[in-house]
Structure 1
Amino acid sequence: MGSGHPSKPVAYVRNMEHHMADYITKRVAAETKHKVRIIHAYAGKIAKVHETLEAVEKGLLDLGGYCVCFESAKLLPLNWDYFTPFTTGDIRKQVAVKRRVMAEHPELYDMLDKKYKQKMIAITGFDNYGLGTKFEWTDVSQLKGKKIIAAGPNLPWVERYGAIPVTTTLPTAYNALQTGVASGFIMFPGVYYGFKFHEPAPYFKIVNLGAQAQTILTMNHNTRKKLPKDVLKIIDDAAKSYEKVATLDSYKSEAIGIAKLKKAGAKVSTLPVVQQTKWAKALKDWPNERAHDLHKGYGINGPLIMEKYMKYMEEAGHKWPYRYQFKQLGS
């Protein structure tokens, strides 16, 4: 079982190492005649962040946890919540709504089974995205011309406002900020503190770009076929428990991360709602473009799904600073 990300500072990984693994080993020992040994391989020990899908597909990992943000070519349909910035900052609501949409549209994730020889057994994610920078800023227009790093699919959040986008990963981001390759990083507070990004970039702005249900736990098909049925059921039960525990951990990480950043001397502030609205309006055409990309590249009705997602998020109590519009297919 492994991930490209390290365990300690990242909620979805540390709950793989501890909650998921402990749940499996304890129940297998108590309820079956079998013995199970889990080999942990985090922080890229077997596969880096952009290699984990392939590692599970090939059987190098039996269970792999990864962010679909690093698989925007193969798994673009699972990135759709990235395409509606300023969504809810509550990862618990995000996971619930994403699960609701996915239950109605299995085409969003069935490529994992059909093409990549793995089954998704859990989904969780990251807490509310903010923006850490090496410079102080108060107006979103001040981001123009600045080099900002992010995972990839969310770079248009700043690119559409004139920033210079630079793709990165968590393991390389600190050096990019320290050496001046970039002057800002789109990141959530828990991990921002955990990786000590506040050292090279001490200004952290709570901008409420939203929490993202972007991390999934998958299991190799052949491994599932080989395991005894009672052990497999325990693993699937463990995954359900893991999803709840890891999501709650991620939710708590936001407040804990902000408190720790302040204690460490970082300059933490909140972007006013009027600025959030200004930023969202600058992105108004992008969600529709991405929705149609889902149709062009994958045959998926992106406009319908993303409109449904926004509606369900409103039903969950979220108020969008700007209501994105989608041109429906055939209209």
Structure 2
Amino acid sequence: MSAAMLSAPVSLSVAHAETLDVTAVAGHPPVFLWVKTMSESFIPAVNAALEGTDTSIDWTEAYGGTLAKVGGELEAMEDGLAQVGIVASLFEPSLLSFQNVTYVTPFGPTDVNLVLNTVDQMTDDIPAMRKLWEDLDLEYLGGGFGLEDYLMMTSFPVTSMADLKGRKINAPGPAVNWLDGTGAVGVAGDLTTYYNDIKTGVADGVIVFPTAAAAAKLFEVAPYVTRVHFGAQYAGGIVAKKSWFDEQSPEVQAAFRTGADAFAKDYAAGLEGRVTGAFAAMTEGGATITELSDEARLEWANALPNLTQNWADALEAKGLPANEVVNTYVRHIQEAGVTLPRDWSVK
């Protein structure tokens, strides 16, 4: 009798033990820091947080196009093919419009941590920002990932805005707007096309972030590196399929948030080292690296159309509080000590 009683708690524990099958998705391969950090920081942190509970996770890591192409992660989660993933708001300017606020406020902070922390805080403070995720059946866990201070690489030297007149410059979707009013011609492209576009004369240069530029060896075709300081950009974060997440125990939900916090910390630490290495690689590859003067940056910023006002007006017309999003972002970064060459606040 006593033996049976002693064994009862063990049997009860076994009966309630659960192993969750969870698929984590990212379109980029692990060579990209945000995917590497998801695999090496987020997942181990979730596992560690669940130690001692009755739940464990059997992970399937689907990266590099094995489940979804770049920009297709949202659809994969929507279809129930993955329960957690990295969704790049950068590729969803309509569905996740507010998360792209940094792309309509160029020449902002160069500090990636400041940008990520600000957008994460705004997601907590402005219900409409979180609602954009939830409307897609996604639970934003945090763990924002960002792209370091954008610069320009060209086949010709750039010391002023006048040097851009008539030049064709590659840029990722939302960054094309940073060329409006400069005399340059924006040419849409991505990391898979930049090198050949410049080499073949389709473009004379590119707006890009340093780690990607070094990895793609763009300095071979665009050896003039101009640190324009367009600013660091928020690019997305770790999300879970909300309808699935809501069904999980409080312990599992807390573990996923702990994992997102670990991701954010390790991503920031890893990015700093990679940026330093990127500039070293460009220098060793023969690149000429210069700083755009404050005067030239001011001229450039003031030559642009009112990007934020135009963006906010279009969203406000749809009943979305874009003015609040823009002005909150600008206020946060100014309070953090950032001096903008142009005040992007809207009315």
- With normalisation by structure 1, the TM-score equals 0.89
Mean alpha-carbon deviation: is it higher for 272-281 or for 214-223? 214-223
Equivalent AA in structure 2 for residue 163 of structure 1 = A
Equivalent AA in structure 1 for residue 43 of structure 2 = A
- For the pair 1:16 / 2:38, whether they are aligned, the reply is yes
- For the pair 1:268 / 2:289, whether they are aligned, the reply is yes
- For the pair 1:323 / 2:339, whether they are aligned, the reply is no
Q: Distance in 2 between matches of 1:180 and 1:17?
A: 39
Larger strand share, 1 or 2: 2
Q: 1:26 to 1:279 in 2, by over 3 A?
A: same
Equivalent AA in structure 1 for residue 141 of structure 2 = I
Unmatched 5+ residue regions in structure 1? none
Once the two structures are TM-superposed, the CA of residue 148 in structure 1 deviates from its matched residue by: 1.9
8 Å Cα contact 1:12-1:215 kept in structure 2? no
Q: For residue 7 of structure 1, what is the aligned residue in structure 2?
A: 30
Q: Distance in 2 between matches of 1:104 and 1:283?
A: 30
Equivalent residue runs for 1:1-331 within 5 Å: 1-8=24-31, 10-28=32-50, 30-114=51-135, 116-122=136-142, 123-225=144-246, 227-283=248-304, 285-297=306-318, 299-326=319-346, 328=347
- With normalisation by structure 2, the TM-score equals 0.85
Once the two structures are TM-superposed, the CA of residue 227 in structure 1 deviates from its matched residue by: 4.5
Once the two structures are TM-superposed, the CA of residue 210 in structure 1 deviates from its matched residue by: 0.3
Q: 1:36 to 1:254 in 2, by over 3 A?
A: same
Once the two structures are TM-superposed, the CA of residue 321 in structure 1 deviates from its matched residue by: 1.6
Q: 1:259 to 1:76 in 2, by over 3 A?
A: same
Structure 1 runs of 4+ aligned residues shifted over 6 Å read: none
Once the two structures are TM-superposed, the CA of residue 322 in structure 1 deviates from its matched residue by: 2.2
Q: 1:70 to 1:319 in 2, by over 3 A?
A: same
Equivalent AA in structure 2 for residue 4 of structure 1 = G
Once the two structures are TM-superposed, the CA of residue 277 in structure 1 deviates from its matched residue by: 0.6
| Count of residues paired in the alignment | 323
Describe the superposition over 1:132-168 as per-residue Cα deviations: whole angstroms up to 9, x where unpaired: 2232222122223222222211210013323222222
Q: Distance in 2 between matches of 1:292 and 1:153?
A: 17
- How large is the RMSD of aligned CA atoms in angstroms? 2.1
Aligned identity (percent) is: 27
8 Å Cα contact 2:25-2:84 kept in structure 1? yes
8 Å Cα contact 1:130-1:207 kept in structure 2? yes
Q: Distance in 1 between matches of 2:108 and 2:256?
A: 32
Once the two structures are TM-superposed, the CA of residue 229 in structure 1 deviates from its matched residue by: 4.3
Larger Rg: 2
Describe the superposition over 1:60-112 as per-residue Cα deviations: whole angstroms up to 9, x where unpaired: 22222132121112111211111111001001111122223333212023122
Equivalent AA in structure 2 for residue 49 of structure 1 = V
Equivalent AA in structure 2 for residue 31 of structure 1 = G
Q: Distance in 2 between matches of 1:42 and 1:181?
A: 31
Equivalent AA in structure 2 for residue 5 of structure 1 = H
